[in-house]
Amino acid sequence: MEIVAGAVVSERLRALGQPVPRVVVSGNFATPWELVRLMNEALAECRVFVLNAQPGWPRRDGLVTETPFVGPGSRNDPRLDYLPMRLSLVPRLFNSIRPPDVVLIHTSVPRAGKVSLGIEVNLLPAAIEQVRRRGGLVIAQMNPCMPYTRGDAEIDVDDIDLAIEVDQPLTSPAVRVPDEAASLIGERVAARASEGCTLQMGIGQLPDASLTPMLALQRLGVWTEMLSDGVVHLEHAGALDPDRLVTATFMFGSAQLYEWANDNPRLVMRRTEIVNDPARIAAQPGMLSINTALEMDLFAQANASYVRGRIYSGFGGQPDFVSGALHSPGGQAIIALRSWHDKSDVSNIVPLLHVPICTFQHSVVVTEQGEAVMFGRSQHAQARLLIEQVAHPRARETLWEAAIALGLVDASETH
């Protein structure tokens, strides 16, 4: 690894010799913004692969953003190339139809011949391995503010070609205090947890709100794609099993979360192929998968990707964890959502989705109105439970009418 000035990075990028190079970049809240700036200035044309691009992501002619999970930085970009895929399968792209020429990573400072990817492991180990095989470039933005995490986060400095030094605090998502509906949903979800079960929390306020009521439990395990501050609260409350490592692949959270993660032997960061492998998820005892959705229809199909017919996010790890949890001994796959979208003034329980689904066959659907147990129920029973137990009262008459039209219930059965 050679530590260089930004001008050297720009020169090496311009000298790639590829007409349209593919660049894989650390995403989420580990975006190496200085390297992104240098790339954007140096490459007239490129395809950039990133997860959950944040605000400030470049948008211009000549730069195509590739992603299986759309973030606010690339949402509604006309040049966006969205890849509808389970996250567990995405690393296979790098050794097949989407091989990388450059990988830009955000790392800790070196320690004993290694750096750490810190809060964002995800797809990066697979991308680094493939770019090394292809003779491409691995460029690091080394930051003393990046926590040093272990496991697949650790990268040999010999696998990095160039590095720049940037001392910059990591950004964190905005803090959102749960409102009454979110707290009620969180309590209902938490009531389905049991001593010794294993937790996975998807992105969003509702999965986070489910953790606070679990503080009184014991021997909980964590096998999750995303790690948030709620897990630290569980640790400090003594709710986590001291004999089980906390396993994750990326983090969203406060500076306190990142401080807790730094050099913590209780935490192991694993690559996507491991964390999101449905078979490994199924091997966790009592896997409690907690995810959210934008909409759910009367066939119990969840949409977590599309808003008004346009891509908003993506499948993410939801299909992997729903499938894995359902095969775990005592496992449950929970979908938590609000029954009503206040801003749009519409029901989140809809008659029939008109966009691609993310998941179905969940164990339970939870809203602030109640919960509907889905597992093993007929499609008629599922529709009835969704209307009676979790839909907003304002939507129920319309949903009953739709259920009759769809042949899900008989007119004589409605209330």
If we measure between CA atoms, which residue out of 267, 341, 332 comes closest to residue 303?
A: 341
Residue 325 near residue 333 (C-beta atoms within 8 A): yes
Confirm whether 225 is a catalytic residue: yes
C-alpha R_g of the chain: 22
41/311 Cα distance (integer angstroms): 28
Q: Structure tokens of 322? A: 């729903």
> Active-site residue among 34, 225, 235, 273?
225
Q: Structure tokens of 12? A: 């090496």
Q: Break the chain down into helix, strand, coil percent, rounded to 5.
A: 30, 25, 45
Name 154's bridge partners.
116
Name 66's bridge partners.
49, 81
Return the amino acid letter for 9.
Answer: V
If we measure between CA atoms, which residue out of 63, 25, 26, 56 comes closest to residue 41?
A: 63
If we measure between CA atoms, which residue out of 224, 218, 222 comes closest to residue 266?
A: 222
Return the amino acid letter for 16.
Answer: L
The DSSP 8-state label assigned to residue 54 in this structure reads P
| Number of separate helices (H) and strands (E) present in the chain | 12, 27
Q: Structure tokens of 102? A: 């450059």
If we measure between CA atoms, which residue out of 308, 288, 298, 305 comes closest to residue 221?
A: 288
Q: Distance of CA 297 to CAs 85, 376, 384, 387, 406, Å?
A: 21, 17, 12, 10, 11
Active-site residue numbers?
A: 225
